[in-house]
């Protein structure tokens, strides 16, 4: 069985200008369900050492590379 290592990292440089008028996402999925689906897809690709870049501060990421339990969507 392949062992996968997930690590979250902040996006250092946002690739495009921020959207002026943001709206809520039309997608509704629980965090654990999303990770389960991601895990299945990455297993199919035989992926290892996965880095998930997301819009959160470095201080919102634990030493083991996972988000802190109290992490919320950051404010701009």
- pLDDT tens column, 20-33: 887 888 888 887 89
Please report whether residue 19 resides in a domain: no
Please report whether residue 35 resides in a domain: yes
pTM of the entire predicted model:
0.69
Q: How confident is the model at residue 74 (pLDDT cuts 50, 70, 90)?
A: low
Domain region containing 32: 1-12+28-68
Residues with Cβ within 8 Å of 67's Cβ and at least 6 positions away in sequence, in order, are: 8, 54, 56, 60, 61
pLDDT of res. 45: 92
Please report whether residue 59 resides in a domain: yes
Please report whether residue 52 resides in a domain: yes
- Number of domains forming the structure of the chain: 1
pLDDT of res. 2: 58
């Amino acid at each position: 069985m392949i062992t996968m290592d997930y690590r979250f990292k902040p996006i250092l440089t946002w690739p495009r200008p921020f959207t002026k008028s943001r709206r809520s996402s039309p997608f509704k999925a629980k965090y654990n369900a999303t990770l389960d689906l991601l895990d299945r897809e990455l297993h199919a690709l035989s992926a290892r050492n996965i880095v998930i870049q997301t819009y959160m501060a470095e201080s919102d990421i634990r030493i083991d590379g996972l988000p802190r339990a109290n992490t919320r969507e950051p404010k701009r």
